[in-house]
């Protein structure tokens, strides 16, 4: 097992002592987001909702989906209940679908971010540092973050993880 992988596992084991019950509010939030994300375009097509508010709703849903994805990455939806791990993964994959970021890639990239927060060399999320400079910088940073999910996984996980993870990607 690689050094980074063992640190990920050690961090998760340490965090489990602080985890507990199944996070039903997050599950409910995830189901509401996913359902609304599917229904909103149908409401526009049917003429029940105009495009401008639908775009705002979809943007808010996309933003909220990261909460669910983040909790799934850390395993806090299922908490210490291993029998609910499938629900943690399901919520993570649903949120990742909304965000168009694969859960398997984001999990490894995000945990690397926590190991190296604000390190210009090692934090994979450091590309957002100049995001507020201008709209052009914001778009560039967003693209770097999105593409960085895949690049990080391909460089750091593709040959090390189980084939099933690569298939999920």
Q: What is the pLDDT of residues 136-164, one digit of tens each?
A: 888 888 788 778 778 878 887 788 877 88
Residues 142 and 74 placed together within one structural domain of the fold: no
Residues 122 and 69 placed together within one structural domain of the fold: no
Residues 96 and 122 placed together within one structural domain of the fold: no
Residues 32 and 78 placed together within one structural domain of the fold: yes
Residues 109 and 95 placed together within one structural domain of the fold: no
Please give the structure tokens belonging to residue 91.
């919520």
* N-to-C CA span, the chain: 20
Residues 29 and 110 placed together within one structural domain of the fold: no
Q: What is the pLDDT of residues 88-119, one digit of tens each?
A: 999 999 999 999 888 887 787 777 776 766 66
100: left (phi over 0), alpha (psi -120 to 50) or beta: left
Query: At which of 100, 123, 154 does a domain end?
Result: 100
The boundaries of the domain holding residue 121 are 104-169
Length of the chain: 169
- Model confidence at 18, pLDDT cuts 50, 70, 90, reads low
Give the mean pLDDT of the chain. Answer: 84
Looking up tokens 């401008």, which residue turns up?
52
pLDDT value, residue 120: 67
Residues 18 and 95 placed together within one structural domain of the fold: yes
Query: At which of 72, 100, 128 does a domain end?
Result: 100
pLDDT value, residue 2: 45
Model confidence at 12: pLDDT above 80: no
8 A C-beta contact, residue 102 and residue 129: no
pTM tops 0.75: no
Residues 84 and 163 placed together within one structural domain of the fold: no
Query: At which of 100, 127, 157 does a domain end?
Result: 100
Residues 8 and 80 placed together within one structural domain of the fold: yes
Residues 14 and 67 placed together within one structural domain of the fold: yes
């Amino acid at each position: 097992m690689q050094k980074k992988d063992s640190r990920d596992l050690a961090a998760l084991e340490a965090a489990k002592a602080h985890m507990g019950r199944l996070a039903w509010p997050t599950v409910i939030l995830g189901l509401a987001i996913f359902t609304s994300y599917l229904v909103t375009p149908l409401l526009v097509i049917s003429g029940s909702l105009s495009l401008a508010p639908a775009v705002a709703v979809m943007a808010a849903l996309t933003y909220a989906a990261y909460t669910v994805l983040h909790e799934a990455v850390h395993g806090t939806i299922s908490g210490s209940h291993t029998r609910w791990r499938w629900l943690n993964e399901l919520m993570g994959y649903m949120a990742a679908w909304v965000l168009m970021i694969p859960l398997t890639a984001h999990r490894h990239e995000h945990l690397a971010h926590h190991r190296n927060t604000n390190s210009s060399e090692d934090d994979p999320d450091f590309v957002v540092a100049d995001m507020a400079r201008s709209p052009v910088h914001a778009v560039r940073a967003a693209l770097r973050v999105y593409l960085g999910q895949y690049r990080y996984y391909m460089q750091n996980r593709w040959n090390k993880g189980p084939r099933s993870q690569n298939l999920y990607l």
